[in-house]
Structure 1
Amino acid sequence: MSDQPAIILSSVDYDRLDGLLAKVKELSPVHEQLLLEMERATLVEPEQVPADVVTMHSKVRFKLKSSGKEFEKTLCYPHELEAISDGLSIFAPVGAALIGLSVGQHIDWPMPGGQLDQVEIIELVDQPERKGEYHR
């Protein structure tokens, strides 16, 4: 997947994701793709995350090109799914695609079944860092 957009990760998100992935006994294709994204990301301190970048616990409106459907979800860790009604796990294919992207960016991403789809960020409805929440 060449020509992917630049992505930004907060050091807190990176460390937490790295810790979660280290505990996974057998990496799935989604885990492997997320690791690749983490490796190519620009890391910044939480206070330096731009206001339009998707971070963990961000509520994001995005579109899938294949269907044209728009979704509004909160990016979360797998163990938080039950507590967050509109939660989307970072370990879901679309969740892994969203992290680090900015409003207006899109990324070609492998989906279940092996096909690629384009995920586009339409709006960042809420972001913890914009509210001064740096360690959520």
Structure 2
Amino acid sequence: MNPNIMMSKTDFNRIDQLLERLATSRVPGKEALSDELLRAQIVEPWEVPPTVVTMHSTVRFRLDGDATPLCRTLVYPKDVGQAPDALSVLSPVGSALLGLSEGDRMQWLHPDGREIGVEVLEVVYQPERAGDYHL
């Protein structure tokens, strides 16, 4: 069973709009991200705990089978090319990380059929924690 997730209203609304724009396109990751929205607890941006992965958060995480942690910033697809550590929220690991808290683990089905796990080690930076509610 996957852990509960939390999302700010701002992130939820922007991702929902993104998914609406992509409704008729065949974009990989669209359905997985939509599923995450359905199970999220939605709160005001200033109510998001400082250890939750939100949009524009920089997060250290580990994938099953990898000894070395990765550190990436979760971004919208249009922002992927703007930073070397950017991770699209539409990617399988990006949609899995969204809303998780430090210490959470989650399993998801990779497009190739493998089950993969991810563990959040640390939310290095979170906009809401820094007082940036990107409203």
- Give the TM interval when normalised to the shorter protein: over 0.9
Equivalent position of 1:19 in the other structure: 17
Q: Deviations over 1:74-119 (max 9, x none)?
A: 0000100111221000011110100000000010012231101110
Aligned pairs for 1:86-97 within 5 A: 86-97=85-96
One-letter code of the match for 1:120?
E
CA apart distance, 1:27: 4.8
Give the total of aligned pairs: 134
SS of the residue 1:21 aligns to? helix
Aligned pairs for 1:101-116 within 5 A: 101-116=100-115
Equivalent position of 1:79 in the other structure: 78
Q: Report percent identity of matched pairs.
A: 44
Displaced runs of 4+ in structure 1, greater than 4 A? none
CA apart distance, 1:29: 5.4
Unaligned runs of 5+ in 1: none
Q: Tell me whether 112-121 or 45-54 shows the greater mean CA deviation.
A: 112-121
One-letter code of the match for 1:43?
I
Equivalent position of 2:43 in the other structure: 44
CA distance in 1, matches of 2:104, 2:98: 11
